[in-house]
């Protein structure tokens, strides 16, 4: 992740700097992707401090000398319009809206195909439901692998090129799915669709951080998070009727057409936001104009691209394995996210077998999960920022901490097991179909709130390495989402729908201990020397 030594620590306070230096400090304080920390008590010791120390190397004197280096290219003061955080609200939200559409499209494709599974079994002469379920979940394995490569590439070449290339390849592989002649071919192209489509999920949070300040981030992150959460639950609604009317292949044709429209919108609207890429472009332009070959970007680590790429690939894994905060939050987020795909992959079988729903009607049951997601976003927006501001004012002299993002998850953590209990036992005894869907709605609310809150926590807590922390969480979440549906039908066959969902509910009850633990001990864990990860 591109940065320089003077981005961290020991700089004179803003009031002692001239306007140019103040502008640079303003950018660094608020921009996690630019190699900065949020200067409050919660950021006193963040993962990667050892790397910062190595980069700083020579101390205060060399930092001040670097500040005066005329060959360093930075933003032109705090109001530089080239800085994405200074873009007009219209331009910011246009980029966020298109990014949200792309991020919605990718998870939509993961589940829209689900209602067509019985037709696939028939067309390809197989009666193995686990294999058909794998065709759905293999897409999520692609989403798990993609971030490990795409996130580092975005730091080398910028974010927009990742979005555009990914969109085009996604269309190509989706068309290949529509033309598949056997289930092995379909499975392979589904994996490739997930792999190339992972870009907005892998680096979308980084783009949000590029564009927004800490105070703006909650709303923007909620809008962007709707895609991964709402897409999987809306897809089967359209997919069910489409499969019934035109067959499962037309699901992929419609996805390809929709992706084509969104790709055109992204080509027109999306602009580069990665500060390292933007400053590097500015540096190259100034070198050409001035003939000064010594100019270099403030965010240039002067590390060979291959070394930077390899470091960036390893970083998410190191955070996941060595940072207890990242690990615990990722496991919690991954478990609740897996509930979406477990329900999505089994709704068709459960409601057709227990309630006799047709292929078209069974798609409508996914609306309950989608409504739960929407209600979850509304609740998160209504209480999330207010709670954070209240806690900051009452406990920390108005300075926000990542832990202040946690309280909404306390409510959400209760909704999930309640929803699973209602869904499981009412389907078990075939109580009127609206009641189990109420359970799915409650679970969807809880899932949405927890995912948005954990994403915000990771961005606020890991600042400099927010993209890597989100990539680590996304990888684990996708692995859980891909593997849980594989054993769902067998679990239901063995335990029944009531006890099968109760088992998942009991696990989610045990996880209720995680939010209070992070709220009261999260800052200590982040600042403890034992858990400082050298990145």
Nearest to 152, CA basis, from 358, 363, 310: 310
- Which pLDDT value is given to residue 254? 93
How far is it, in rounded angstroms, from Cα 443 to Cα 273? 35
Digit-coded pLDDT (tens) for 233-280? 777 777 877 888 888 899 999 999 999 999 999 999 999 998 888 999
In the prediction, which pLDDT does 63 show?
Answer: 43
Instruction: Report the 10 Å Cβ neighbour count for 266.
Output: 20
265-268 long-range contacts, CB within 8 A, separation 24+:
265/98, 265/101, 266/98, 266/101, 266/102, 266/163, 266/164, 266/167, 267/164
| Interval 69-75 mean pLDDT | 84
Distance separating alpha carbons of residues 406 and 520, to the nearest angstrom:
10
- DSSP helix, strand, coil percent of the chain (3-state; round to 5): 80, 0, 20
Name 297's bridge partners: 73
Whole-number Å distance between alpha carbons of 483 and 463: 30
Mean per-residue pLDDT, 299-325:
82
Q: With 50 as the cut, is the pLDDT of residue 56 above it?
A: no
CA dihedral of 506, 509, 510, 511, whole degrees rounded to 10: 130
Q: What is the pLDDT of residue 370?
A: 83
Report whether 115 contacts 362 (CB < 8 A): yes
pLDDT of residue 67: 57
Region of poorest pLDDT, from 34-48, 141-155, 157-171: 34-48
DSSP letter string, 365-382? GHHHHHHHHHHHHHHHHH
Q: Give the pLDDT confidence score for residue 172 in this predicted structure.
A: 97
pLDDT of res. 359: 67
pLDDT band per the 50, 70, 90 thresholds, residue 301: confident
pLDDT of residue 184: 87
Structure tokens at 439: 């359970």
For residues 499 and 504, what is the distance between their CA atoms, to the nearest angstrom? 9
Angstrom distance (rounded) from CA 60 to CA 398: 29
Per-residue pLDDT reduced to its tens digit, 135-144: 877 888 888 8
Nearest C-alpha neighbor of 459 from the set 230, 167, 151, 213: 213
> pLDDT over 70 for what percent of the chain?
86
Least confident of 46-55, 66-75, 219-228, 285-294: 46-55
Angle formed at CA 167 by CA 161 and CA 170, multiple of 5 degrees? 135
Name the burial class of residue 278, with classes exposed (0-12), middle (13-18) and buried (19+) by CB atoms within 10 angstroms of its CB: buried
Mean pLDDT of 286-299: 88
pLDDT of 400 = 86
Highest mean pLDDT among 5-9, 20-24, 376-380, 510-514: 510-514
| pLDDT value of residue 129 | 65
Report, as an integer, the average pLDDT of 288-306. 84
Question: With 50 as the cut, is the pLDDT of residue 44 above it?
Answer: no
Cα–Cα separations (whole angstroms), residue 29 to 203, 207, 327, 459: 20, 16, 26, 14
Confidence at 464, pLDDT banded by 50, 70, 90: low
Question: pLDDT by residue (tens digit) across 79-131?
Answer: 899 999 899 999 999 999 999 999 999 888 887 887 788 888 888 887 776 67
CA nearest neighbour of 158 among 262, 76, 280, 7: 280
Residues in the chain: 535
Task: Write down the mean pLDDT value for the chain.
Answer: 80
State pLDDT tens for residues 363-393: 778 888 888 988 988 888 888 888 988 998 8
**Confidence band (pLDDT; 50, 70, 90) for 33?**
very low
- Which residues are 73's β-sheet partners? 297
Q: Is 150 in a helix, a strand, or coil?
A: helix
CATH class of 87-273+336-531: mainly alpha
Distance CA 310, CA 404 (A): 34
Contact by Cβ (8 Å): 108, 235: yes
The yes-or-no verdict on residue 533 having pLDDT over 90 is no
């Amino acid at each position: 992740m591109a940065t320089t030594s003077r981005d961290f620590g020991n700089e004179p306070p803003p009031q002692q700097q001239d306007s140019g230096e103040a502008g640079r400090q303003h950018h660094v304080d608020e921009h996690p992707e630019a190699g900065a920390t949020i200067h409050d008590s919660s950021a006193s010791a963040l993962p990667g401090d050892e790397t910062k120390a190595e980069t700083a190397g020579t101390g205060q004197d060399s930092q001040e000398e670097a500040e005066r280096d005329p060959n360093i290219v930075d933003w032109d003061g705090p109001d530089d319009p080239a800085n994405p955080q200074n873009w007009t609200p219209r331009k910011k939200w246009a980029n966020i809206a298109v990014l949200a559409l792309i991020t919605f499209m990718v998870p939509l494709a993961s589940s829209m195909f689900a209602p067509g599974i019985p037709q696939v079994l028939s067309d390809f002469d197989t009666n193995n439901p686990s294999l058909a379920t794998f065709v759905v979940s293999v897409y999520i394995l692609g989403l798990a692998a993609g971030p490990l490569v795409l996130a580092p590439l975005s730091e080398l070449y910028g974010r927009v090129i990742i979005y555009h290339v990914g969109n085009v390849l996604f269309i190509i592989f989706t068309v290949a799915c529509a033309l598949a002649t056997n289930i092995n071919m379909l499975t392979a192209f589904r994996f490739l669709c997930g792999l190339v489509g992972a870009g907005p999920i892998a680096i979308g949070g980084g783009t949000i951080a590029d564009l927004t300040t800490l105070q703006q981030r909650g709303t923007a992150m909620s809008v962007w998070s709707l895609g991964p959460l709402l897409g999987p639950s809306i897809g089967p609604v359209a997919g069910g009727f489409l499969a019934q009317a035109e067959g499962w292949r037309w699901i992929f044709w419609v996805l390809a057409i929709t992706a084509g429209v969104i790709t055109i919108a992204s080509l027109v609207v999306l602009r580069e936001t990665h500060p390292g890429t933007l400053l590097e472009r500015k540096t190259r332009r100034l070198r050409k104009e001035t003939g000064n070959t010594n100019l270099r970007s403030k965010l240039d680590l002067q590390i060979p691209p291959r070394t930077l790429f390899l470091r960036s690939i390893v970083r998410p894994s190191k955070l996941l394995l060595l940072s207890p905060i990242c690990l615990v939050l990722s496991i919690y987020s991954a478990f609740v996210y897996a509930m979406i795909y477990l329900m999505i992959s089994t709704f068709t079988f459960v409601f057709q077998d227990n309630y006799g729903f047709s292929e078209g009607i069974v798609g409508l049951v996914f609306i309950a999960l989608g409504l739960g997601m929407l209600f979850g976003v509304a609740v998160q927006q209504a209480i999330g920022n207010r709670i954070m501001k209240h806690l900051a004012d009452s406990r920390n002299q108005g300075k926000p901490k990542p832990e202040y993002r946690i309280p909404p998850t306390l409510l959400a953590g209760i909704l999930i097991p309640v929803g699973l209990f209602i869904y499981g036992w009412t389907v078990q005894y075939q109580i009127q179909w609206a009641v189990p869907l109420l359970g799915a709605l409650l679970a969807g609310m809880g899932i949405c709130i927890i995912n948005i809150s954990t994403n915000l926590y990771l961005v606020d807590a890991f600042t400099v390495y927010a993209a890597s922390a989100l990539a680590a969480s996304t990888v684990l979440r996708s692995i859980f989402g891909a593997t849980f549906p594989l054993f769902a039908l067998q679990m239901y066959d063995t335990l029944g729908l009531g006890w099968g969902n109760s088992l998942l509910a009991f696990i989610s009850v045990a996880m209720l201990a995680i939010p209070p633990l992070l709220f009261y001990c999260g800052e200590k864990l982040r600042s403890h020397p034992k858990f400082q990860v050298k990145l």
